[in-house]
Amino acid sequence: MFTFYQNLTPQIAKKYRNKLMLQWWAIKQIMQGRLRLRNTFGDVIKISDQITCYNGDKVVFRTKGHITNYGMIGMVNWLIWTSSNSSSAFYGLQYTLGTYMYIRCGTGHTNPTTATTTALDAINATAPSSFFGATSNPSAGSYRITWTATWNAGSLTAITIYEFGMWWNNAWASSPTQFALQSYVMGTLGSTSASNAEMVSRISDPDGDFSHFTVNVSVPLTLQWNLTFTFA
């Protein structure tokens, strides 16, 4: 009499098993979070881009913004940065507000914003009459940077605005730049003075963010740009 034993346990390749286990842990975390079975404070941080426009004392619009690849890469690089070269100055993303870090309006109305958008469709070269940034803590677990750009009455002509963009300073004139993803200490590579600012966020009529409008030149035009970090 012969007895045969067969291992009927299914064999799963390690890479597929790991993938299934990761999916299981992701589902488990979601369910535990929704059922309040674990402490979810601080496990997600939301970064939101919100812009409000005023023409005089009239609110023209409020909308979410569209952070581009350069904006995301710039923030990631600054989190990995640890020191600067002692032989040279180091210039940050916000260096010289209004000159190397700035906001502009535009009259182009062709293209919606994508992750790779690097410019307005048709930029208006007139700089805001004043531009400043400030930090705040608007509520518990929420931290904000607010940039306010104001064009004084008469500084713009009665143009029709379809878009706005924000640029951050690029601290190096040559590679590596603040907008090329780094995996090492940025500052030790040295720096030049600021140059080659890159657009990091845009809002526009083609994106459906606001309806184009003609500037009332008798009153100021103000754009308040908020970047808010929140424990989600």
- Judge whether residue 12 has pLDDT over 70: no
Instruction: Tell me the pLDDT band of 3, cut-offs 50, 70 and 90.
Output: low
Q: What is the pLDDT of residue 96?
A: 78
Residue whose entry in the numeric block shows the structure tokens 């608007």:
138
Per-residue model confidence as pLDDT tens digits over 168-215: 887 654 455 667 766 655 544 444 444 578 899 999 999 999 999 999
Q: What is the pLDDT of residues 141-163, one digit of tens each?
A: 899 999 999 999 999 999 999 99
pLDDT of residue 76: 79
**pLDDT value for 173:** 43
**Average pLDDT of the chain?**
83
Domain boundaries, given as residue ranges, for the chain: 13-43, 44-231
Tell me the pLDDT tens digit for each residue of 20-79.
888 888 888 888 878 888 777 778 889 999 999 999 999 999 999 999 988 888 887 776
Q: What is the pLDDT of residues 89-131, one digit of tens each?
A: 566 777 778 888 899 999 999 999 999 999 999 999 999 999 9
**Predicted TM-score (pTM) of this structure:** 0.79
Instruction: Tokens for 30, please give them.
Output: 């979601």
Q: What are the DSSP calls for the chain, one per residue?
A: --------SPP--HHHHHHHHHHHHHHHHHHHHHTT-S--TTS-EEEEEEEEEEETTEEEEEEE-EE-HHHHHHHHHHHH-----TTS----TTSSBTTTBEEEEE---S----TT--S-SSB--PPPSEEEEEEEEEETTEEEEEEEEEEPTTTS-SPEE-EEEEEEEE--SSSS-TTS--SS-SGGG---S-EEEEEEEEEETTTTSS--EE--TTS-EEEEEEEEEEE-
